[in-house]
A = this chain, B = another copy of it.
Amino acid sequence: MLLKSFISTFLLTTLILITPAFAKVFNAEEFSLKNGLRVIVIPNNRAPVVTSMIWYKVGAADEPQGLSGMAHYFEHLMFKGTKKLKPGEFSRTVKKLGGNDNAFTGQDFTAYFQTIHVDYLDTVLSMEADRMMNLSVPEEHFKSEKKVVLEERRQRTENDPKGLLGEQLRSALFVNHPYGTPVIGWMDEIEEYEWDDVKTFYDKWYAPNNAVIVISGDVTVKSVRPIVEKHFKKLKPKENISRLRPNVPKAIGNTEMVLEHASIHQPSFQETYIAPSFNQNKDDALALQVLEQILSGGPTTRLYKTLVVEKKNATSVGISFSGTALDYGTITLYGTPKKGLEPEALIKDVHQEIANLRENGVTDKELADAKQQLIDSAVFARDSLSGPAMTIGYGITTGSSLDDIENWPEMIKAITKENVQSVAQKYLDPDAPWLRPAVTGYLYPKKAEAPKEVKEEKE
């Protein structure tokens, strides 16, 4: 599930950046079993179809030291057989019934989902309950899946200088914190997984009280509850499930990383700051979403309008706030200068735009437009079957309450000009960063080798 899963993850991130939650548009209902399993239902009866997702509150950031990538690798193994099902049988069954299934892993969660005719919800939940506690992977699959993941990493990261630099930037930003470790894991650690590691991981994290089922589609709590109870009621909860995360230490020196590579054709930069996540500071994270929209929400918003349209010194430029995380969020400024201009010059322009905002704030119109765009995006997202389940699962596993998610548009409405200016001052001041200075990465085309000057040796 790696290739697809990573694609899903990227899509998800993009989606969430635009529509982090929805203003009571979901009207989600929920119930819990005594064993701690939480079930959230989003009724949508346009077609007799459901998206059924199960989210586990364990992700790459919960891996033990030295076993990076284990959460994602384990996601793969979940398709490799149980005491009842043969390897691959889970997905073959879903496919035979006309559905599709997949999975994805993030820093804070691992999620499995199926989209299928509502009549077969019983079948997929039965299989999910089975693999939650009865996984049984033949040794040859344990080994071959390692090769699959290694190959994936080779293709997606090792051979991609941008990917490698991206990993380095995150490592430099998230010192002493697992967010600095890539979700897919480090090459040599993937190679070293032992079956015992996998078993320990499964035994520790996979349990009804560490999972949330989110079902979106032609269902109600009334129709779902008996099916869930039938399959999951018998599963025992586990004790001592707790997610201990370290803090990122403060730092004072600015970090820059430069990569020249033959595969790069245009110089570009990205500059990332640590910012609060929704879970760390809801109010500020909401204001940062509005700020992001004002600066970079389309061709008429500040950065693009000023630097691409008017000044014409960039071919692309923007800011992205990523706040849906159990621990820290990030703010990233990025841009590609016009031909002949150095990225450093464009960064200065971007900083000046932001200094302007810090100093003078935003206009009433900018605020109103940004808020409306964000709220509209929530309404659009509601239209899909899987979007709402994605948003709710993502939010719940990163510390949001269902109320927070449902009331997001209301909370966005409440953001003021002062809130926006205040978070720009708090989190986007390069001279006084919140936690540690930005980590800035530059990509350049490989320069032609200059002849090396070598001095004559002296005796």
Contacts and interface: CB of A to CB of B under 8 A. Distances in A.
Interface string A251-265: 111111111010000
A185 to B, nearest CB: 10
B189 A246 contact: yes
Given A164-B252, A171-B176, A352-B455, A65 B246 contact: yes
Given A186-B249, A355-B454, 7 more contacts: A64-B65, A164-B252, A187-B249, A187-B250, A253-B259, A254-B258, A356-B455
Contacts of A256: 255-258
A186 B176 CA distance: 9
Contacts of A68: 176
B171 A175 contact: yes
A246 B64 CA distance: 11
Contacts of A181: 176
Given A164-B252, A175-B180, A251-B164, A246 B352 contact: no
Nearest to A249: B186
A165 B457 CA distance: 36
A223 interface: no
Residue among A253, A352, A356 with most chain B CB within 10 A? A253
Contacts of A189: 246-247
Interface of A: 64-66, 68, 161, 164-165, 167-168, 171-172, 175-176, 180-181, 186-189, 244-247, 249-259, 261, 352-353, 355-356, 359-360, 363, 365, 441, 452-455, 457, 459
A452 B252 contact: no
Contact of A356 (B261, B441, B457): B457
Nearest to A366: B459
Contacts of A188: 247, 249
Nearest to A305: B458
A261 B168 CA distance: 26
